[in-house]
Structure 1
Amino acid sequence: MFDVIIVGGGAAGFYAAIHIAEANPAFKIAILERGKEVLTKVKVSGGGRCNVTHAEFDPNELVKNYPRGEKELRGPFHTYCSGDTIAFFDKRGITLKIEEDGRMFPESNTSQTIVDCFTSEAERLGIKLLRNSSVVAIETVQKSEESPLEGWMIASIQKKYYAKKILVTTGSNPKIWKLLEKLGHTIVPPVPSLFTFNIKDDRIDGIPGVSTYASVEVLEKTLPSKVTINLKSKVASKALLVSEGPLLITHWGMSGPAILKLSAWGARMLNDWNYRFKIKVNWLPEYEEEGMLQLLLQIKGVEAKKTVLRTNAVAIPKRLWVHLVKASDISEEVKWADVTKIQLQQLAKELTAGEYQVDGKSTFKEEFVTAGGVDLKEINFKTYESKIVTNLFFAGEVINVDAITGGFNFQNAWTSGYISAQAIAAKKISL
């Protein structure tokens, strides 16, 4: 018999368990984990370094990184934000460092530091960890000889457990979603959220690893809805999906923050399009096409004796410049003095408005994130308790909240884990 059972041994589950145990040491707490390993996503995140959170300390700004959950998370982030996460780890001897892009990692540069912190804290606090316990049933129960406690029966593949309250932190788990549907909850169908774009194009073929700052638009005449994303210097408010940031050319196409932001904000729309669409890339976002043409005409006058291919007249990687020059029908031996205006117009377009066909997607590393889950209308965000069933709580990505890459998905886990823990610990257990 447990006071609280947490279904799911991931980031949100452990964080909540630790806070419940600290807030109410008398509680008997168990974590049910379906696998033999816990915290697997924590371990692989951030390339094995664990991107713990993001150095954005204003809740009103932090919520802008959540395509689903922006409105609902405003209150929770005012209760528990990035600074609170930093304090939690600092109290346990783990210092987090801030990188240039705002991402925060443990100073040790290894996710094992975070994993060890959680598992050692769980052991210290007497939290029972039940591995290989895939949950197959979740049911409400009344007092009986079998269950002296009115609350919940959770059946794993091994045995049945009873508890007054349960916290579900299973992330994107279709089997658990089905069990929650049986309890009356609405599940928003899941679709991939963080993914890279598959593009086969001579302009980027053969130059994987090239990275540069770029602006990217998803092109479509009619969009289901208006999408606005904060950019570096302005806000896109037209009916197009637009993002700006580092863009990485890969063996299979394009990745990097600029692409991943588009994949998150456009998750449902791009799924509806079966991941077949066109994007427009501006490799030099400070320029428009006409302004770039004027710059190239100036360079033509100054660098007349040099070949176009070897000049690299603008601030993009050399290998990318070479590919875009060739795509503009300018051969290797052509000098600036001999390049035609038509060729320069084509080059200006390639630099600021090149169109690329996307044919499919690829999962972003091991950090698979989905849009979907328990409908947000059915959750009380002051406590993360279900509005449908009493003493059923949620935390993490099991609900329809997801974020762009950069530590934001983990911050959602910490915030929801903390707030649900406080609500659970505050409720009296009646035997």
Structure 2
Amino acid sequence: MASHPVLDLAVIGGGASGFFTALQYAELAPGKSVAIFEKGSHFLQKVRISGGGRCNVTHACFDPGEMSKNYPRGSRELRAAFHRWQPSDTVEWFRHQGVELKTEPDGRMFPVTDRSETVIDCFLERARKSGITLYQNRPLTGITLLDDGTFSLQFENLETPVVARTVCIATGSLKGSSLLQHLKALEQTLQPLVPSLFAFNVSDRRISDLAGVSHPHVSIRREGTSTARQGPLLITHRGFSGPAVLRLSAWEARELAETNHHFPFIIDWLPEMKPDAIQAQFDDNRRTHGAKLVRNSPIPPLPRRLWERIVACSGIEDQTTWGQLPKAAAKNLLDGLKSARFEAQGKTTNKDEFVTCGGIERKTIDFRTMQSRNVPGLYFVGECIDIDGITGGFNFQAAWTTAHIAATDIATR
């Protein structure tokens, strides 16, 4: 069978970082041949489901130093990288393509349409106009470095190998990937792959039947550690989720994996109030609202249903008034508000949306170019590298930034 013409660039992975690498390369090196090979039947799948189907494109943080603080792994390397392509560049690029972004109060940025399809349509249309060839259902089964410095790529559903001058690996998480042994053969070392950004499975009477109740601001830490993460929290059918939980799961991904995701943690339901201030509020209620039921007096911003449950689980009867509240019960309530101890019994991840900590070891990549330090012509972008951000548009921004740097260097080769 006739062999394929030699490609200037083969991008392995049809997700955010792969598409952006190909699009940027096509802009910088018009007339060069580039193809994207996606193992699944859909391109940009993570873009489609991100942000509840709205696509959290980036985060409105325009200082590279501040931006880099949102990455549990890779912050040092990204700090320099963000000086070359940061959220303001992302916003401008999308605007130039006719996709306007808007900023939400928490800093997350979405298309004004609130539809991830807007981003997907933009990418597919740009790829079509740029002459980028798109292959679906093409898992890479082998990669060999040839004597002349080109790469021979074997794909499922393609009889003859594809030869490419340059290869960019943009597969997203390498967890369970058949590429691992090929990358090891190319002297790419990997950091162990463990989940990041996951919810905690908790079975506890303090939260049973409260699924859907959210709290705007808690502080949460693993028991035995002093570093807490703050943010909104959501009670789910399985336990706890929301930004505060996801942040803790990201920053402590390796430690939590070592416990097999069974670990005790502490929630402070009122992190903006010191224990003395809460005690003073109790004393004031006793003096001025002595006849009022304790369960009817939630301290803002605690949701009423959650407050009622914390009160009940502190051993306080439904009909107890502030005037009748015993000192021991008041102390239980204070402890239940400031240092509630829970046990995580595993994790829950959205299988399509999860982020992985680990991947291609950062020191084996030159972050000025995103090229492998061991294999000239082999590039890595996005989540296949041992880089990950907290929730809020940070992982996509790392994808755009690494893709831009790689495409810029490949275009000058």
Task: Compute the TM-score of the two structures, normalised by the length of structure 1.
Answer: 0.92
Helix, strand or coil for the counterpart of 2:77?
coil
Helix, strand or coil for the counterpart of 2:323?
coil
Task: Compute the TM-score of the two structures, normalised by the length of structure 2.
Answer: 0.96
Structure-2 residue corresponding to 1:211: 214
Q: Which moved more, 1:102-111 or 1:289-298?
A: 289-298
Give, in whole Å, the separation in 1 of the partners of 2:199 and 2:352: 12
Give, in whole Å, the separation in 2 of the partners of 1:304 and 1:360: 43
Structure-2 residue corresponding to 1:255: 241
Matched residue type, 1:203:
R
Distance 1:314 1:109, change over 3 A: closer
Counterparts of 1:65-144 in structure 2, within 5 Å, are 65-143=70-148
1:396 equivalent to 2:387? Answer no
CA contact (8 A) 1:241 1:262 kept: no
Structure-2 residue corresponding to 1:283: 269
Structure-2 residue corresponding to 1:146: none
The C-alpha deviation readout for 1:288-315, integer Å capped at 9, x for no partner, is: 3343223212211111011111222443
Structure-2 residue corresponding to 1:346: 332
Helix, strand or coil for the counterpart of 1:206?
coil
Give, in whole Å, the separation in 1 of the partners of 2:142 and 2:351: 32
Give, in whole Å, the separation in 2 of the partners of 1:208 and 1:135: 42
Counterparts of 1:177-326 in structure 2, within 5 Å, are 177-212=180-215, 213-220=217-224, 239-326=225-312
Matched residue type, 2:14:
G
Structure-1 residue corresponding to 2:166: 165
1:156 equivalent to 2:134? Answer no
Give, in whole Å, the separation in 2 of the partners of 1:209 and 1:407: 23
Helix, strand or coil for the counterpart of 2:222?
strand
Distance 1:391 1:280, change over 3 A: same
Q: Which runs of 5+ in 1 are unaligned?
A: 144-149, 221-238
Structure-1 residue corresponding to 2:23: 18
CA contact (8 A) 1:292 1:352 kept: no
Matched residue type, 1:194:
L
Q: How far is 1:26 from its partner?
A: 2.1
Structure-1 residue corresponding to 2:342: 356
CA contact (8 A) 1:297 1:344 kept: no
Q: Which moved more, 1:203-212 or 1:45-54?
A: 203-212
Give, in whole Å, the separation in 1 of the partners of 2:172 and 2:181: 13
Aligned residues: 403
1:4 equivalent to 2:9? Answer yes
CA contact (8 A) 1:196 1:364 kept: no
Give identity over the alignment, percent: 41
Give, in whole Å, the separation in 2 of the partners of 1:198 and 1:370: 18
1:48 equivalent to 2:47? Answer no
Give, in whole Å, the separation in 1 of the partners of 2:189 and 2:53: 34
Matched residue type, 1:405:
T
Q: Which runs of 5+ in 2 are unaligned?
A: 1-5
Give, in whole Å, the separation in 2 of the partners of 1:248 and 1:415: 31
Give, in whole Å, the separation in 1 of the partners of 2:364 and 2:300: 52
Q: How far is 1:364 from its partner?
A: 4.4
Give, in whole Å, the separation in 2 of the partners of 1:129 and 1:307: 65
Matched residue type, 1:415:
T
Matched residue type, 1:394:
F
Give, in whole Å, the separation in 2 of the partners of 1:385 and 1:419: 10
Matched residue type, 2:164:
A
Q: How far is 1:6 from its partner?
A: 0.6
Give, in whole Å, the separation in 2 of the partners of 1:10 and 1:360: 28
Give, in whole Å, the separation in 2 of the partners of 1:85 and 1:313: 41
Structure-2 residue corresponding to 1:230: none
Distance 1:410 1:326, change over 3 A: same
The C-alpha deviation readout for 1:257-301, integer Å capped at 9, x for no partner, is: 100000000000000011111111111101233432232122111
Structure-2 residue corresponding to 1:385: 371
